[in-house]
Amino acid sequence: MPDTPGAPAESGGRVQITREEVAHLADLARIDLDEAELDHLAPQLSVILESVASIKGVAGDDVPPTSHPVPLTNVFREDVVTPSLTPEQALSGAPESEQQRFAVPRILGDEQ
């Protein structure tokens, strides 16, 4: 971990985050945590930071960052134009239509 103010401390290869740092982060995120929650979360966050640090140690400069372990490709069908309904056919079952559109009751007023 970099030596920056407010960064979690490393001790013997282990990343430690104090309950005061958890309280500060909770305050920044506007999360109200009680004393028991702070005591419970600090060790858990330390484990998470250790896991991230171990992954950073494995990935060398020759390994590009990725979002997935294997390449993904989207499978789409070809966009082919096919015959569809005419406006008259589409509106043939509508109770009301106007200007080649479905006419529906207004549910919102003019307040926009």
Domain layout of the chain by residue ranges:
9-58
How many angstroms separate the CA atoms of 82 and 15, rounded? 60
The pLDDT assigned to 111 comes to 62
The pLDDT assigned to 74 comes to 85
Residue 84: which region, alpha, beta or left (left: phi > 0; alpha: psi -120 to 50)?
beta
The residue count of the chain comes to 112
Residue 85 pLDDT greater than 90, yes or no: yes
User: Fold for domain 9-58?
Assistant: Histone, subunit A (1.10.20)
Contact criterion met (CB below 8 Å) for 106 and 112? no
Neighbours of 41 (CB within 10 A): 18
The pLDDT assigned to 68 comes to 83
Q: Which residue has the higher pLDDT, 7 or 5?
A: 7
pLDDT digits (tens, 9 = 90+) for 11-68: 555 678 899 999 999 999 999 999 999 999 999 999 998 888 887 777 777 777 778 8
Q: Which residue has the higher pLDDT, 1 or 49?
A: 49
